[in-house]
A = this chain, B = another copy of it.
Amino acid sequence: MDLARIGATPKGGVARLTLTDLDREGRDWVVARARDAGMSISVDQVGNIFMRRAGRDPSLPPVMTGSHVDTQPTGGKFDGNYGVLAGLEVVRTLNDHDIVTEAPLEVAVWTNEEGSRFVPVMMGSGVFCGAFGLDHAYAARDAGGRSVREELARIGYLGSEVPGCHPVACYFEAHIEQGPVLEDAATVIGVVDGALGARWYDCTVTGTEAHAGSTPMTSRRDALAVATHVMQEVVALGNRHPPHGRGTVGYVDVFPNSRNVIPGRVRFSIDLRNASAGLLDAMDGEIRAFVDRTRNESGLAIDVQQVAHYAPCPFDAGCIEIVERAAGRLGESHMHVTSGAGHDAIHLARVTPTSMIFVPCKDGISHNEIEDADPSHLEAGASVLLHCMLEKAGVVR
């Protein structure tokens, strides 16, 4: 609640976009709390912050947790911020109980997870894990033309450490679910077994714009009438592949978009997701076959271009088991879930054993100023995180 005051919106949300003055304030606040807890701080060249609690053996790679403190323009208090503060609370709790771990612990604050101001999203963790290069991140500019590197320097978070040159033993990330599954199942802890893969496409149907009154039905080449069939198939595809299949058309652009003109061109997005590469490939084949049939039947041009491909990301079996065991030991209701959204943990999973801990959010709503979560669920998630980190780091006393 204290951190959420920085960039607070009138509707109860937070607008603290990455690398703004407010982001600096937020980072400074978190870093000050970490120093209060006796942690040491390092920052890398893409602005990722690593807040370290020493272990008995400084030569061991740290057991890491973390998330992000940047928000959407109309974001909530919990997305990302919860994961960072849960990590801080783990450290404070260990301090309170005077517990020493064998391996060090680290809480990471990843730069620009949201991607609202600079593309790509999950930038800091992406550079850290080698998904793309530092130059690619530095080249990104916001709508006002300012670059990531300039803004990092301006707010004082352009560190010297080379991203990725930082050993990690394993990674756990606590996060609100951002979906309705846990709440619907009245379950407190989501043991995250991986993340859905996604294929994103741009689809364009080209017909002929014509007068809605003077063009008989039989003479029409109505791009929208054809496009709506493809849009329905996208949703049907999601329904045909339970439980993890997803099919969404989120963006539609109709040209010329005039009440009495038959649409001549419709562009829309297709978002297909599933939990395995095989299922995602099957969905890809089905939508392409449907488009081919629709093209042949309608005689209209239909172009489908894949614009992004995120491979499904299974998390580490050992880490998943540790999350499950911790939830069970604490007596919290728990279930396996698969993340449909992107998280820094998905990048981390490529370089270190990883899992996540989800807690419910109210009505499954996120990326929204009314985003909310139950304090008892947030506490339970942080307790699970503590047990996971302790198990991996080893307790000395």
Contacts and interface: CB of A to CB of B under 8 A. Distances in A.
A83 to B, nearest CB: 15
11 contacts: A177-B214, A179-B210, A200-B259, A211-B366, A211-B367, A212-B246, A212-B248, A212-B340, A214-B339, A214-B341, A259-B269
Interface in A340-358: 340-342
A144 interface: no
A239 B259 contact: no
A81 B90 CA distance: 79
A42 interface: no
Given A252-B252, A271-B259, A364 B179 contact: no
Interface string A200-238: 100000000011111111110010110011011001001
Nearest to A271: B212
A261 B250 contact: yes
B254 A260 contact: no
Interface size bucket, A side? 35 or more
A103 to B, nearest CB: 32
Contact of A210 (B215, B224, B261, B364): B364
Interface string A244-280: 1111111110100111111100000101010000000
B242 A217 contact: yes
Scoring A216, A232, A247, A269 by chain B CB atoms within 10 A of each residue's CB, the highest score goes to A216
A250 B260 contact: yes
A198 interface: yes
Contacts of A184: 219
A180 interface: yes
A169 interface: no
Nearest to A254: B252
A214 B179 contact: yes
Contacts of A254: 250-252
B179 A216 contact: yes
Given A250-B212, A339-B214, A364 B219 contact: yes
Given A177-B214, A214-B339, A250 B235 contact: no
